[in-house]
Amino acid sequence: MKLNDIQTWVTVPPTGIGGAFWVIVKVTTDNGIEGIGECYGIPVSGDIACAMVEDTFERFFVGEDPHNVETLFRRVYSAGFTQRPDVSMMGVFSGIEIAIWDILGKAAEQPVYNLLGGQFHDRLRTYTYLYPKSSQTDDGKEANIGDVYHDGDAAAERALEYIEAGFTAVKQDPAGPYSFQGGRELSLHELSRSEYSVKKIREAVGDRADILFGTHGQMTTSSAIRLAKRLEPYDPLWYEEPCPPDQMAAIGKVASATSIPVATGERLTTKMEFHQALQSGVSILQPDIGRSGGIWETKKIAVIAELYNAQIAPHIYCGPIAHAAATHVAFSSPNFLVLETIQTTFHDAILHKPLEWEAGYMLPSKSPGLGIELNEKMLEAHPYSTGGRLHLEMCQVPLGSNNQKIIDELA
């Protein structure tokens, strides 16, 4: 069995939940087995991302035995004489590699988790972001109800709705916006808004659910510690990426200064960067499997975390293919904590059978490979326009520590 061909799509989720676009790939072998994968967060236009995927496949994968995952990783990791973590190239590789594991599972007639050590967990605990509730307007368009990002009362109301649906953990990041400038000192208003939001959520959900506090790396070390002290009375399960991802020593200082477990990882790639996070004192790793190096590399990251008594909580802000791949690593990993999840009508529609989810928990697929089948017609019905938005984008305005007017305008 040899790798023979690749096809790529860029599709746009209508609601924007999960990112501005998804890069999805299908790899075919010379004996006709197909595997599907998904690349996460390649920081270029979708059409260029697809060209990168196709070029990489032609250079390093065509004619190769799909079982040689380790060899294929080393070739791509070293591409262009780099041989170091490269978030763009690992995003490219991860999508192809996920598709290869889908092929290997189908060839062996086994779910992928059975090729990674077997099923350790019966089900996976999941969490959701506090996404705004939507309703249809008179002209047929969707409109959001309540500002769950900046209004603590609206956030608490929405959190309670998710708990009633079965979730036992919810996440929010009210401290934004996230400027391209790197770490900054939050204003007193932002600190108070964040504290109020967590306070209201805790009052609403009590001990029925964990609160996960996201920040997306916009703070200086001192600001992150100031905010942590305000949040500690409400006992969040974690404090996520408090400083920029290129400031791992700073994240470590925050971890040592607060009782809240510190989590990070959605913008990291390969075991090397995650090892650095563990060495700094991070206790919860959040690899995004479509960027962290694919299934095999992410499994290695989980194993390394065990040596630090740390846990994994895979990051999901993407389509359902990467989501499905993350479940296979999670099901096979003893130190799995909780899985981010997104469930929208479009997420379900691009698969012929949606992911199995029940009252806040993901259930294991018993089908070979990833256990999912792509609805290609639905992908093609929601195409990406050349030169459109990136998957995720940061605020391009520098922010100070007391510029409330600008912050309100951007919010």
pLDDT of 139 reads 46
Domain spans in the chain, listed from the N-terminal domain onward: 3-111, 114-368
C-alpha angle with apex 176: 172 to 178, nearest 5 degrees?
120
Q: What is the mean pLDDT of the chain?
A: 93
Among 75-79, 134-138, 333-337, 391-395, the range scoring the smallest mean pLDDT is 134-138
Q: Per-residue pLDDT tens for 186-219?
A: 999 999 999 999 999 999 999 999 999 999 999 9
Count of CB atoms situated within 10 Å of the CB of 366: 11
Q: How far does the chain reach from its first CA to its final CA, in angstroms?
A: 52
pTM score, whole prediction: 0.94
Q: Per-residue pLDDT tens for 334-361?
A: 999 999 999 899 999 999 999 998 889 9
Q: With 90 as the cut, is the pLDDT of residue 254 above it?
A: yes
Q: Per-residue pLDDT tens for 143-199?
A: 556 789 889 999 999 999 999 999 999 999 998 788 888 899 999 999 999 999 999
Task: Please tell me the distance from the alpha carbon of residue 241 to that of residue 219, in angstroms, as a whole number.
Answer: 9
pLDDT of 135 reads 47
Radius of gyration, alpha carbons of the chain: 21
Q: With 80 as the cut, is the pLDDT of residue 386 above it?
A: no
Q: Are 209 and 166 in contact (CB under 8 A)?
A: no
Task: Please tell me the distance from the alpha carbon of residue 86 to that of residue 151, in angstroms, as a whole number.
Answer: 37
Q: Are 135 and 145 in contact (CB under 8 A)?
A: yes
Q: Domain 3-111 belongs to what topology?
A: Enolase-like; domain 1 (3.30.390)
Q: Could you check whether 3-111 and 114-368 share the same CATH topology?
A: no
Q: Are 318 and 38 in contact (CB under 8 A)?
A: yes
Q: Return the higher-pLDDT residue of 358 and 121.
A: 121
**Alpha carbon distances (Å) from 256 to 11, 251, 259:** 42, 9, 8
Quick one: which of 169, 177, 172, 143 has its CA closest to 155? 172
Among 122-136, 194-208, 214-228, 312-326, the range scoring the smallest mean pLDDT is 122-136
C-alpha angle with apex 209: 204 to 210, nearest 5 degrees?
110
Report residue 4: phi and psi, to 5°.
Answer: -125, -40
Task: Please tell me the distance from the alpha carbon of residue 131 to that of residue 186, in angstroms, as a whole number.
Answer: 23
CATH 3.40.50.10190 fits 114-368, yes or no: no
Q: With 80 as the cut, is the pLDDT of residue 409 above it?
A: no
